[in-house]
Structure 1
Amino acid sequence: MNARSTTLRIAALVFVLQLAAAIVLLLGVGAIVRQQSAADAAATSAVLRDDLLASYARGGQRALVDTVALRSSREITPNTVMLLVGGDGRILAGNLAGWPADLAEDARSAEVRQLRRGHPQPEAMRVRVSRLAGGERLLTGVIVEQDRRLLHELEAATLVALALAALFAVLAAALTARMIAARLGRTVATLRAVRGGDFLRRVEQHRSGDAFDELAGEVNTTLDRVEALLGELTLATDALAHDLKSPLTRLRSALERAALEVREPAAQEAVDRAVAEGERLLAMVETALRITRAEAGIGRDAFTATDLADELAQIAEIYGPLAEDCDRAIVVDAPVSATLPVHHELFGQALGNLVDNALKYGAGTITLALAVHPRAVTVSVADEGTGIPAERQSEALRRFGRLDEARSAGGSGLGLSLVAAVARLHGGTIRLGDARPGLRVEIDLPTLA
């Protein structure tokens, strides 16, 4: 799966959105807790300060000292801190051991750590400073140590939750990608099966009404139409081929009878040429019919297990005398055997076409080779001629496509087309390559369904 894959992009989007949602939720909860803690502390501190200032307003410093001492000793307001110092810095009353050293002189409010009387360790507290008319300074605040511990635990839990959220986001993205790949995979598998000749194959629909189901429905409708058109084309081609074969056969018979009655050499030569052209035309019609049937997947029921090494040996034996007449040789390079279900007649004709092309347009020794791979078998025919340039190989594979140098040899342009059709009938492919020198035609046949 590359970086431009839509499935990968969707999975990445799911991952990012899942993780972003978790981050916003967890950080939002932390921010709300912190804000609420600060607000509660500020409100409590403000109420305490107002009460103490009211005492100061009623009775001055003496009344304030008594009130601070009373509240500090009896803890009327739990978890609060109070400290009253005079203008000279002397502690007048309160429950703190001293004025916080890290509290600035002009500070109005701050969070500090200070030791309370009767407590062994300094504690976090949020305090407010009020300056009185007599020069005194009044510090009031609330202990927030417990809140800070809770926030620290919340931060640790947030980190763990973020890690889990990232893990779940990866899992969600992977499951999303897998679901998309599975739904689309069935469609792709169906199209591959149809391409391989299984025209009855259809995509399973779940009737969910989603985009995948709509796609499956459209693909099935298209395949129904293709199947109908292919059936009509097959019938039309069969009918045309049979309709052409009958008059061509009668024409050949008439020409053969005429050849027996002609006595003049020039007329005899003309009739012989006409008979040869009739034979060539009849062979073209028969080959075109075979190609159409192979492209339509007709003939799979005739597949039989065949040893491809033996098949190559038989082809070499059949065409060996023709090669000897041309002062050439055919060799078989099949160090291992491979047995596959093939259409014996069509596969043999395809190999025969390749050998025939090598005899007509190639040069040197013709090599029939068999190579076995983990998931495929490659059958190749190579010669030592000039080969076909890479830029013209697609033209050579096209039906009725003939290269200029092949036209003088009377080729029909159907030989390689038939080989390609037979390869596709067997679920394989055809490749043209450079034999260095010469042309190598390779037929790749899958060994696994």
Structure 2
Amino acid sequence: MKTRLIDLKAVWLIMVCAVCLTSCRDNDYVRSIPASATAVMKIDGAVVAGSHKMLSLLPFGDKTADVIDLSREVYAFETVDGNLGICARVKDSDALLEALKTVTTSDVRKQGDYRLADINNSWAVGFNDKSLVVLGPVSVAALPDAQRSIVRMLKQDEDASIMARPMYSKFDSIDSRVAFVAQVQALPEKFAAPFMLGAPKGANASQVAVAAGVDIKDGIVRIDCQSFSFDKSIDRELKKSRAAFRPVKGVFSQSMSHNQLFSLFANVKGKEFLPLLQSDRSLQAVLMGLNTAVDFDNIMRSVDGDLAFMFSGMSQDNIAMTMLARVDNPVWTADVDYWKQSCQPGCSITGSNGSWVYRGGDISFSFGLQGDVFYGISGETPASIQQLLKPSQPIYGEVSRMIAGNRMAMVLNLNPLAANSAAAGGMFDILKPIIDNVKAVVCVMK
């Protein structure tokens, strides 16, 4: 009996080892992603196979399923120097070579166990029997360096790859067929700022990360995300700050117009939210100019309920911001006359009865109260405050319905963003083949 038990243990051990070895072989190609990658997206191969847009991630068109193993995930990543990369498992290296010859803009050359080429004089391509890596876009002059980088990636062992990083293991906690984990520094600045809310003042965007699952339905990309940090003290502060965010009621969910680029929705008590806002350098830069004209901090302290920031511009010189917030006991209205008297030379505040305009040089900012709603808007006071609350052409109804119930929601309207894709950069470029022609991206934090 004892001998039989030992035999069963031996069989069990062999089976476990076999499973582990098979798993390792399946993931061999992932070690081509460098450990220094600042963002990594994992896409179920079946999702790639079923989407014409996602197939554009790879250059082989109808032959993709013959040369790339789409039973495994396809990875997109961003390198520390800002290049974008694709990593996939090779199914048939000989067929891949023949397919590459039909799309490459240079001869495919052999370097040891690796094949190297380029596509459209801007994307470097390299592969071996296990892994395909595409890297770019780069200039023609930089292609040799990019190809050398690919060779290093294909050569590196697991310890030098993303597989040795906690970032890679974070994928295990994301239940989605499309998922990404990114350092906040890999995101465009305007979109990164909300993820830094709650981080200690000294923390930088390389120390805070975002883990997210992605779903696409009815023309809307929904991203369910969570900010975190591998630094325990920073992560503790991020988790602590979540108490300041209450479920959004959706009061302003239909206030984003079709031509606004980006919006942030939350529900907060201003006195608790203000310290988080003050510690976020990017958002403070946006609001700093307001604090020189009015006591914006005091206005924020009166907020108690839904809050929305909406932006039409991308650059610091073209913020075009609208702010809407539910307020309670706005005692700051008694200070407006003092603000008028304290204006710097060349500046002024005019208006009365809950509607004022600040003017200074080329800048004007209108603010006031409509019942229990505070409004602030770049430029002159609109003809109708109701037009701010319910514009004639609001963002899509599917988007507004996703906002309520979450701790925070961010919306990217892709119509104006398409013209500004260069300004968006980074992870937007990784997402582009997936979200091309999609109407909006909604990022929610539960």
The alignment's TM-score, normalised by the length of structure 1, stands at 0.21
TM-score, L = length of structure 2? 0.21
Comparing both structures, which one devotes a greater share of its residues to strand? 2
Q: Based on CA coordinates, which of the two structures has the bigger radius of gyration?
A: 1
Structure number having the greater helix percentage: 1
